[in-house]
Amino acid sequence: MKTVEWRDGKVRFLDQTRLPLEEIQRETDDYRVLGEAIRNLQIRGAPAIGVAAGYGVLLAVKALPSPSVSTVRLACSEAIAFLSATRPTAVNLFRALDRMAAVAGGYAGSDPRDLWSLLHREAMEIAEEDRQACLRIGEHGASLLKPGSVVLTHCNAGALATAGQGTALGVIATAARQGKIERVYVDETRPLLQGARLTAWELMKQNIPVVLMTDSSAGIAMQQGRIHAVIVGADRIARNGDAANKVGTYPLALMADRHGIPFYVAAPVSTVDTETATGADIPIEERDGSEVTHIAGQRIAPEGVDVYAPAFDVTPNELISAIVTERGIARAPVSETLMEVLRRGAPADGSRG
C-alpha cells in the first residue's frame, strides 16, 4: 500500500477521507490541489505530509513551460509558501520544504535541467529515508515489547501516515512478525475517527487482532489490566522531549502513568524540532468546528453551539517512557537522553534519517 507516490510526473495518493468504505486513488499535477489534499486530510500523518510536500515542489517546477534557473527558483518559492500554510503543527512538512529550498537556493549552475534533477533526487530521498526510518523504528520499538503484549494506540501512525510501514504501527507490525503481539486496542480518535476508520482498517489488512473502543474507554481498559503498553506517533517533538500528537494523547499518557503502564512515542528524527525548546512552544492547529458538530456530513450537535477543536495536544516529557527513533531509543528521562540519540548521527547505510 502506497499512501503517496510520484508517478509519471504526477502525484498519486490514497484519499484517506474515503476510508474504510472506499479505497480511492487520486492523481494531480497541480501543487495547489496537492496542498488542499494535505489541508483537507486526504493526505495526513506527519511523515507522509513531508513526503507529499517534496513532491509538491516538483509539481510546481514541472508545470513551467520554458524553465530557467530563475523561474525554477521562483516556482519553488511560490510552492513552498503555499504548502507551508497547509498544516502548522507537523514539523516534517517544514523539514521537507526547507530541504527543497536549500537545493534550489544552493544550485550554482546555469542549466535548469540539472537543477530539476537535483530537486527530483532530493524529493525521492525524502521518501526513501522515511521508508528506511520506519523499518528501523519498527525494529527498535519491537525490542521494548514482550511476547503476548497487548498494546493501545491512538489515531493513525501506520503506513497511511508515512512512506513506509509506519511509526507506532510499524513497531506493532514488526513485533507482530516476531510473535509478540496478542492484540491491539484502538481508540476511535474523535472527532475524525482516524483510529476507527484508518488504524483498525490497516491492522485488519495485516491480520493483527484488533479491538476498537471509544476514546473514553481507555481508562477502564487500563484499570482492568487489559493494556500492557501504549504506543503512539508524534507530529512534533520539542528539544526537551515534549511530544505533540493527535488530541486525546495527553490523557492517555496521564492514565498510563497512573496505572504503571509504559507510554512510548515512535517517530523519525525529522519529527524532533530542536529549535523548539518545550511543548509550550509548539503551535497547535485548530480545526473547523464542523468536524466536531458533524459526522459524515450529519449534524450531531445543536445549531449555533460554540466549538473548541484543537487537532493536537502535547504530552509532557516526564510522562513518556521512551521515544523510539530510527537512530535508537531515548529512554526516560527523555529530556536528558533525546539529544544524545540525535547526536549519534545518520545510520550506517548512509541515509540521513
Tell me the pLDDT tens digit for each residue of 105-152.
Answer: 999 999 999 999 999 999 999 999 999 999 999 999 999 999 999 999
Active site residues: 235
Q: What is the pLDDT of residue 346?
A: 59
Is residue 196 within 8 A of residue 259, CB to CB? The reply is: no
pLDDT in tens, 260-316: 999 999 999 999 999 999 999 999 999 999 999 999 899 999 999 999 999 999 999
The domain defined by 4-134 folds into: Four Helix Bundle (Hemerythrin (Met), subunit A) (1.20.120)
- 125 in the Ramachandran plot: left (φ > 0), alpha (ψ -120 to 50) or beta? alpha
pLDDT in tens, 331-352: 999 999 999 999 987 554 433 3
How far is it, in rounded angstroms, from Cα 134 to Cα 281?
Answer: 27
Q: Place 318 in a pLDDT band, splitting at 50, 70 and 90.
A: very high
Is residue 285 within 8 A of residue 308, CB to CB? The reply is: no
CA-CA-CA-CA torsion for 154, 47, 168, 21, nearest 10 degrees?
Answer: 60
How far is it, in rounded angstroms, from Cα 208 to Cα 231?
Answer: 15
Domain positions in the chain are 4-134, 137-342
How far is it, in rounded angstroms, from Cα 166 to Cα 71?
Answer: 36
Taking the whole predicted model, whether its pTM rises above 0.95 is answered as: no
Instruction: Tell me which residue has cell 476507527.
Output: 196
Q: What is the pLDDT of residue 350?
A: 38
Mean pLDDT of the chain: 95
CATH class of this structure's domain 137-342: alpha beta
Instruction: Count CB neighbours of 298 within 10 A.
Output: 7
pLDDT in tens, 8-61: 999 999 999 999 999 999 999 999 999 999 999 999 999 999 999 999 999 999
How far is it, in rounded angstroms, from Cα 343 to Cα 339?
Answer: 6
Q: What is the pLDDT of residue 352?
A: 38
Extract the C-alpha cell encoding 60: 510546481
